[in-house]
Amino acid sequence: KRLILVGPPGSGKGTQSPLIKDEYCLCHLATGDMLRAAVAAKTPLGVKAKEAMDKGELVSDDLVVGIIDDALKKPSCLKGFILDGFPRTVVQAEKLDEMLEKRGAKVDKVLNFAIDDAILEERITGRWIHPSSGRTYHTKFAPPKAPGIDDVTGEPLIQRKDDTPAVLKSRLESFHRQTEPVIDYYKKKGIVANLPAEKKPEEVTSVINKALS
């Protein structure tokens, strides 16, 4: 299966991804995770991306399209993937179609994490992540066994630099202005499944499984 996950910051894309990935043996390609790794390692890509990310703005289409193009060169990824956080502009969606067409593939389904903006600040400000695995926790909704510690490795958890109320505001603006048109782009193709993203994680997972069966 070739899937796209689209939704505002905090809507649950990163939380659902590992579950779908294991269920269907897919490659998880999260442009946000890849960019954060590049920023942390201070690679040329990371240096170019950092300023926009810190402000909650989108990184340039060319940079992220390049990341995805590289990832899809792996035959195992091309066979089945979850794109988490890409495409985020109509230009990115068009480029993705070109990249896939060139390789004889297409997008099967777009999972739309539909949710009201008002819920997202609490989700974002309570989030803690384990950076090397991408595991995500929440102080209220999904607390780790010991505060600030990853359940699996015992390593410390961190908060994302862009998870503040002020930067969230700008991320939400980018979402409504630049990413909502992407949902319409795929609606015209008839491949969008809407998810009740405000519900409990287990309920969202079960709607996803129904949409994919």
Q: What angle do CA 42, 173, 212 make, to 5 degrees?
A: 85
- Count of residues near ligand AP5 by CB under 6 A: 34
List the single partner that 176 binds among ligand AP5, Zn ion, none, CB under 5 to 8 Å by kind.
Zn ion
Distances (CA, A) of 158 to 15, 28, 129: 16, 21, 5
Q: Which is nearer to ligand AP5, 80 or 131 (CB)?
A: 131
How many angstroms separate the CA atoms of 79 and 70, rounded?
Answer: 14
**Active-site annotation holder among 50, 88, 123, 135:** 88
Show the binding pattern over residues 143-182: x = contacts ligand AP5 (CB under 6 A), - = does not.
----------------------------x-----------
Judged by CB under 6 A, which stretch of 69-77, 149-157, 186-194, 199-207 contacts ligand AP5? 199-207
Single residue of 3, 7, 39, 111 touching ligand AP5 by CB under 6 A? 7
Of all residues in this chain, which one has the CB nearest to Zn ion in the complex? 14
> Is position 135 annotated as part of the catalytic site?
no
CB atoms within 10 A of CB 63: 16
Contacting Zn ion within 140-199 (CB under 5 A): 176, 180
4 contacts ligand AP5 (rule: CB under 6 A) = no
Identify whether 177 is a catalytic site residue: no
Q: 127-150: b or e for each residue (b if 16 or more CB lie within 10 Å)? A: bbbbbeebbbbbeeeeebeeeebb
Cα 29 to the center of its chain, rounded Å: 8
Cβ-based neighbours of 13, under 8 Å, separated by 6 or more: 5, 6, 7, 30, 84, 85, 113
Interface ranges with Zn ion (CB under 5 A): 13-14, 176, 180
